[in-house]
Amino acid sequence: MSYRIPDSLIGEENVKLAAAQVEDYAALGRRLERAGVDIETITVKVAAFAVAVPTWGVGTGGTRFARFPGAGEPRSIFDKLEDCATIHQLTRSTPTCSPHFPWDKVGDYRELVERATALGVGFDAVNSNTFQDQPGQTLSYKFGSLAHSRKAVRDQAVAHNIECIEIGEKLGSKALTVWIADGSNFPGQSNLNRVFDWYLESMNAVYARLPGDWRVFLEHKLSEPAFYSTVVSDWGTSLMAAQALGPKAHCLVDLGHHAPNVNIEQIVSRLIRAGRLAGFHFNDSKYGDDDLDTGSIDPFRLFRVFNELVDASARDAPGFDPAYMLDQSHNVTDPVESLMASAMETQRAFAQALIVDRRALAAAQAENDVMLAHRLLKAGFVADVSPILAEARLRGGGAIDPIAVYRASNYRKIKAKERPAVTGSISGIV
Ligand code: LRH
Ligand code: MN
């Protein structure tokens, strides 16, 4: 039987922090009450907040230069599920994981579902992969996949996406995420209009195979691995495709997939307005698609995104049903610690956005009282909502301090013994 952190250890560690938690929660409650905010309302909403863990994120990531695998690397989707379950056991905010195929392929998906259920995690959107050639693959994706100039290659990519839908149905998923690397490195290498025609032709074939209650998430990205043009490069192209495909097609926002300084929260606002916001791949970045830990570089940006999400749910925006997922690469930290910290930072941005006085903000905006409006919004961001996040975890049976419990458990050392080192990464990115 593989090791699982005993719930008793969570209890023991929580006892050490319980008195301070009670005091801090009460103090924040009094402070929020003075601002007309009921802390309990926020805590209940935060406790219901969930973000999915990327299965490809629990193994150590790397760059094209190098990858430095850590101890106890997951060897298969079964090991990945254990790590995903541990993240949820301590944070109580990640009940699902988002698998990637063929990286997470197995022979028996019923066995996989049984194992996941036993571990207390479910499956969110499935991700297809036509940005790498697999051993034994007939036709290469070197020059593209769903938008390749050759019909046979497009058909091969369509078939893979349909296979991912079929696997997802066995796992209980309700969405397919399609990110393609298709693009060009030289002006003239491809016809910028025709490649979009081919992309739509292929996606129509994928769309036609979506079960009635499924959605397809189109993920745009400015560049990399293509460095002159990318077929689905921005939210406008993604929205054009979603509207051309049909009501099940939505636009997924990966925070790292935009040019530096792009106003991502405004893109989110527009996609919500169009009723086509699929959801997110949360991460952080300073330069390109750095896939750094969510909230680690620009937590104010993350807060501004959640401000648009809370505003949308406050005004009951039609079709507003975003899926929240992390998408990160952990090159120098323990992936489990990074994913726990990142899940908590998404909850933090959500809680901060919930305490913004939206009525006063709307009034100040209407009056063009710029400074008051800005400070009313900023008041949410500067509030330390840590006691609310801890309270939500505590009430859910989790840890007041997940990383402290994780370290006290020696989980990584124990997994290093259980999981003999594997050569090469099984998350397949590097
Ligand atoms: C592309 C991306 C996509 C995944 C991949 C692992 O950059 O964000 O979402 O398929 O990373
Ligand atoms: Mn992504």
Tell me, what's the pLDDT at 429? Answer: 56
Ligand having the closest approach to the CA of 131: 1
**Element holding 97 (H helix, E strand):** strand 96-98
Does residue 254's CB lie within 6 angstroms of at least one atom of ligand 1?
A: yes
Q: Is 1 exposed, middle or buried (0-12, 13-18, 19+ CB in 10 A)?
A: exposed
Q: Is pLDDT above 80 for 213?
A: yes
**pLDDT tens for residues 119-149?**
999 999 999 999 999 999 999 999 999 999 9
Residue 289's pLDDT is 96
Residue 428 has a pLDDT of: 53
* Bridge partners for 381 per DSSP: none
Alpha helices in 246-294 (DSSP H): 264-273
Q: Are 252 and 271 in contact (CB under 8 A)?
A: no
Whole-number Å distance, alpha carbon 368 to ligand 1 midpoint, is 40
Q: Is 55 in the pocket of ligand 1 (CB under 6 A)?
A: no
Closest ligand to Cα 425:
1
Residue 398: pLDDT over 60: yes
Tokens, residue 141: 């994706």
Q: Name the CA dihedral angle for 327, 321, 163, 143, rounded to a multiple of 10 degrees.
A: -60
How does pLDDT run across 284-319, given as a tens digit for each residue? 999 999 999 999 999 999 999 999 999 999 999 999
Sheet holding 215-219, edge to edge: 126-127, 175-178, 215-219, 249-254, 277-282, 323-326
Nearest CA to ligand 1 atom 3: 179
Mean pLDDT, range 405-411, rounded to an integer:
98
DSSP string, 361-374: HHHHHHTT-HHHHH
Query: Where does the pLDDT of residue 424 fall: very low under 50, low under 70, confident under 90, or very high at 90 and above?
Result: low
Residue 114, pLDDT > 80, answer yes
Phi, psi angle pair for 21, to nearest 5°: -60, -45
Distance of CA 36 to the CA centre of its chain: 32
Nearest to 3 by CA among 394, 341, 408, 419: 419
Q: What is the pLDDT of residues 234-263, one digit of tens each?
A: 999 999 999 999 999 999 999 999 999 999
Ligand 1: does its nearest atom lie under 6 Å from the Cβ of 127?
yes
For residue 129, which atom of ligand 1 is closest to its CA?
10
Which of 58, 220, 223, 327 for a ligand 1 pocket mutation test, highest count of atoms within 8 Å of Cβ?
A: 327
d(C-alpha 184, C-alpha 179), whole Å: 16
CA 255 / ligand 2 centre spacing (Å): 8
